[in-house]
Amino acid sequence: MACYALRPGCTIHELLDFVEDVVDGLGSSREMNYLRTLLNNSTGTGADRQIAAYQKNNDVNEVLALLIEQTMEGVELDQTDLSNDFLKFKMYETMGQEE
């Protein structure tokens, strides 16, 4: 059953469908597509991934490691300004894990 009014019990998908016809006029189609992508992502949202990381060992350090990994994804450290202490730490950690 489609949700034609904003009321309790509507799923997020139904709410997105409800506003679909005005999205282009508002210039929000990119954002709406991003929301749909998030909802359809099999790994869930960032919060879902953080909860899963924590639940592995009930350790907040697992969450921190996940956040660092995702933040540093695609960053070339040899071309990065290493004046920031965090980046220095991450560079040395990466160097210590060479294969």
Are 55 and 23 in a shared domain?
no
Computed on alpha carbons and rounded to an integer, the radius of gyration of the chain in Å comes to: 20
Asked whether residue 89 falls in the same domain as residue 50, the answer is: yes
Provide the whole-model pTM: 0.45
Q: Are residues 66 and 87 in the same domain?
A: yes
- The distance from CA 44 to its chain's CA centroid, rounded to whole angstroms, is 8
Range of the domain at 17: 1-40
List all residues 6 or more positions away from 62 whose beta carbon is below 8 Å from its beta carbon: 53, 54, 56
Q: Are 47 and 65 in contact (CB under 8 A)?
A: no
- Three-class secondary structure of residue 73 per DSSP: coil
Are residue 60 and residue 81 in the same domain, yes or no? yes
Higher pLDDT, 71 or 9: 71
36/54 same-domain check: no
Amino acid at 41: N
pLDDT digits (tens, 9 = 90+) for 1-46: 455 555 665 688 888 888 889 998 999 899 998 888 888 877 777 8
Our count of domains for the chain comes to: 2
CA neighbours closer than 13 Å in the CB half-sphere of residue 17: 10
**14 and 50 co-located in one domain:** no
Mean pLDDT, range 81-97, rounded to an integer:
55
